[in-house]
Amino acid sequence: ARMAEADILRGQGGETHQVARGDTPVLTTQQGVPVADDQNSLRAGARGPTLLEDFHFREKIFHFDHERIPERVVHARGFGAHGYFELTESLSDITKADIFQRAGEKTPAFVRFSTVAGNKGSPDLPRDVRGFAVKLYTKEGNWDIVGNNIPVFFIQDAIKFPDLIHAAKQEPDRGFPQAQTAHDNFWDFVSLSPESVNMLLWIMSDRTIPRGFRFMEGFGVHTFRLVNAQGRSTYVKFHWKPKLGMQSVAWNEALKINGADPDFHRRDMWNAIQNGDFPEWELGLQLFDDAFADKFEFDILDATKIIPEETIPIRKVGRLVLDRVVDNFFAETEQVAFCTQNIVPGVDFTNDPLLQGRNFSYLDTQLKRLGSPNFTYLPINAPKCPFAHFQQDGHMAMYNPKGRANYEPNSWGPAQGGPRETPERGFHSVPVVESGEKRRVRAELFADHYSQARQFYLSQAAVEQTHIKDAFVFELSKVETPAIRARVVSHLLNVDDALAKRVAEGIGLDAMPAAAEPARPVIRDLKP
């Protein structure tokens, strides 16, 4: 059969590499040898021993034996789809990022939604945070916004992430629970880490049992920077707003759905796209400067806090549309590698200590998960703009650059010398001035863990407050150690008296504990 154009990858010199895609009619081995019989192994006589000589059998079993790769250490269960981002308003005054220059222009995108704690085969509707990871294949490189469906996080410093995740995933001795937050280790850790309290209120709300991925908000969580052509930096928080509005199921529905259809969310996304009912979000930006950051009640580097939309309104600048399911789940959804450090000229980091840790963690874990530093060549991970560098070799090096030079500077001309630096186009960090004592310490403004939790709780409608109360009661009723239950209530006393009381009653606490230290006076009276 003649190869379809899509079955051929072209190398640097235009030479062709064939890719096995499963749509040629003749079954072959990996070596291209036509297979005569795929039903019977080679035997010495119909009832005799199987022969070592059977290269087809051995190749087939060998490859099967190596099909599995490690699942993600977090966010193992996920579902991805292709689409595009369309800019609706030029932001050239704020950022030089190519993707934000021309209104109406579309940029290819891949998005993976996920749960956090459950393993790859866990159900879609545990009470859990959802990942919302967006890869934008811009003309100046891949930009990943690796976010969640909740705008705050459990911890302020990445050094606590292994502890948080160990506590949240199955307990090491018993191997359960698989995907629920309802267990002693999780509640023990978070109740000993008051910085988690704001997040606890958010995760006990209906946001953690979304009706589907199409009905979720997304957040970049951290404060990032946008940088314009003059080098001026503006702080930014990223928001994805679902066109269908935010919707959740009720807890008893979630429990039933998990039993009846553990693939509920991925099925919903698949069906919607296949039916032409394309999921869509608006990209919203909260933009602010140093003057605002200096006077804001909280530190803009603290990922356990939001900036209320009433304080900094959201500016809608584009839309994200998912219009194509993957061809192959493993090749795309499983092997896609998102990384917070994938940014482009015109975007930059801040010193958020959670973000700085993430920037190290993702690439590191992906080397382990995908097995080779060349995973960037996988079609789902490769940029869609031209790229050229002198990285070479390693496992599965398929596209080492052609020619003599594999270093620079070099004195070989354009044909042989390879790519060159371009200071005018290339990525520059914002030249922020930094100084300080080298110490393990947190900024003072990171210390108020309750005011925003209270603000969030009071902003909820009565029925939503009841759901939050019910969720605490359900989860804590699964916690066996009385001291841990009481400690959670001691934090709730710093959030809202009535909530603490209702939860204490619900779980049958013998006596009301004292409010956790630091107690009430620290709480700011923020408007709900």
Cite the active site residues.
75, 148
133 binds ligand HEM (CB under 6 A): yes
**Residue 312 forms beta bridges with which residues?**
none
Q: Which of residues 281-310 bind ligand HEM (CB under 6 A)?
A: 303
161 is in an annotated binding site: yes
Which residue is nearest to ligand HEM, using beta carbons?
A: 131
Pairing of strands 8-10, 130-138: unpaired
The number of beta carbons lying within 10 Å of the beta carbon of residue 523 is: 18
Nearest approach, Cβ of residue 371 and ligand HEM (Å): 12
Of 112 and 305, CB closest to ligand HEM: 112
Question: Quick one: tokens of 292?
Answer: 């605002």
123 binds ligand HEM (CB under 6 A): no
Q: Which residue, 184, 186, 180, is CA-closest to 209?
A: 180
DSSP secondary structure string for all residues of 406-464 = -SSS----HHHH-----TTTS-------------S---GGG---SHHHHHHHHTS-HHH
Binding segment for ligand HEM among 55-63, 140-148, 341-349, 386-394 (CB under 6 A)?
140-148
Binding segment for ligand HEM among 24-32, 356-364, 441-449, 497-505 (CB under 6 A)?
356-364
Q: Which of residues 357-376 bind ligand HEM (CB under 6 A)?
A: 357-358, 361-362, 365-366, 369
Of 154 and 499, CB closest to ligand HEM: 154
Of 148 and 494, CB closest to ligand HEM: 148
Nearest approach, Cβ of residue 147 and ligand HEM (Å): 5
- Strand (E) positions, 171-279? 218-219, 224-227, 233-242
Report yes or no: 472 and 492 within 8 Å, Cβ to Cβ: yes
* Rg of the chain over all Cα atoms, to the nearest angstrom: 26
151 binds ligand HEM (CB under 6 A): no
Question: Quick one: tokens of 425?
Answer: 């186009």
454 is in an annotated binding site: no
**Separation of alpha carbons 303 and 454, rounded Å:** 17
73 binds ligand HEM (CB under 6 A): yes
The number of beta carbons lying within 10 Å of the beta carbon of residue 154 is: 26
Question: Quick one: tokens of 515?
Answer: 């409010």
Of 78 and 262, CB closest to ligand HEM: 78
Q: Which residue, 505, 430, 453, is CA-closest to 200?
A: 453
Nearest approach, Cβ of residue 427 and ligand HEM (Å): 22
Angstrom CA distances, 91 to 98, 117, 315, 346, 419, stand at 10, 37, 11, 11, 30
82 binds ligand HEM (CB under 6 A): no
Binding segment for ligand HEM among 350-358, 414-422, 453-461, 478-486 (CB under 6 A)?
350-358
153 binds ligand HEM (CB under 6 A): yes
Nearest approach, Cβ of residue 352 and ligand HEM (Å): 9
Q: Which of residues 94-113 bind ligand HEM (CB under 6 A)?
A: 112
Binding segment for ligand HEM among 11-19, 146-154, 273-281, 308-316 (CB under 6 A)?
146-154
Report yes or no: 134 and 320 within 8 Å, Cβ to Cβ: yes
362 is in an annotated binding site: yes
338 binds ligand HEM (CB under 6 A): yes
Of 100 and 153, CB closest to ligand HEM: 153
**Separation of alpha carbons 214 and 149, rounded Å:** 11
**Separation of alpha carbons 316 and 499, rounded Å:** 35
Of 381 and 490, CB closest to ligand HEM: 381
358 is in an annotated binding site: yes
3-state secondary structure of 329: helix
Binding segment for ligand HEM among 2-10, 70-78, 135-143, 223-231 (CB under 6 A)?
70-78
Binding segment for ligand HEM among 258-266, 271-279, 331-339, 417-425 (CB under 6 A)?
331-339
Which of 81, 145, 209, 221 binds ligand HEM (CB under 6 A)? It is 221
161 binds ligand HEM (CB under 6 A): yes
Angstrom CA distances, 503 to 200, 456, 471, 499, stand at 14, 17, 9, 6
Q: What are phi and psi of 74, to 5 degrees?
A: -135, 165
For residue 241, the 8-state DSSP code is E
Which of 81, 87, 91, 114 binds ligand HEM (CB under 6 A)? It is 114
Helix, strand, coil share of the chain (percent; to 5): 30, 15, 55
248 binds ligand HEM (CB under 6 A): no
Contacts (Cβ under 8 Å, ≥6 apart) of 98? 138, 139, 140, 344, 345, 346
Nearest approach, Cβ of residue 196 and ligand HEM (Å): 12
Of 114 and 350, CB closest to ligand HEM: 114
Binding segment for ligand HEM among 143-151, 239-247, 342-350, 441-449 (CB under 6 A)?
143-151
Indicate the residue type of 489: V
Of 134 and 489, CB closest to ligand HEM: 134
Angstrom CA distances, 163 to 76, 166, 357, 481, stand at 18, 5, 14, 19
The number of beta carbons lying within 10 Å of the beta carbon of residue 304 is: 24
142 binds ligand HEM (CB under 6 A): no
158 binds ligand HEM (CB under 6 A): yes
Which of 354, 380, 479, 493 binds ligand HEM (CB under 6 A)? It is 354
Report yes or no: 111 and 132 within 8 Å, Cβ to Cβ: yes
Q: From the annotation, which residues make up the binding site for heme?
A: 72, 112, 161, 358, 362, 369
Residues that bind ligand HEM (CB under 6 A): 72-75, 78, 112, 114, 131, 133, 146-148, 153, 158, 161, 221, 303, 336-338, 354, 357-358, 361-362, 365-366, 369
Q: From the annotation, which residues make up the binding site?
A: 72, 112, 161, 358, 362, 369
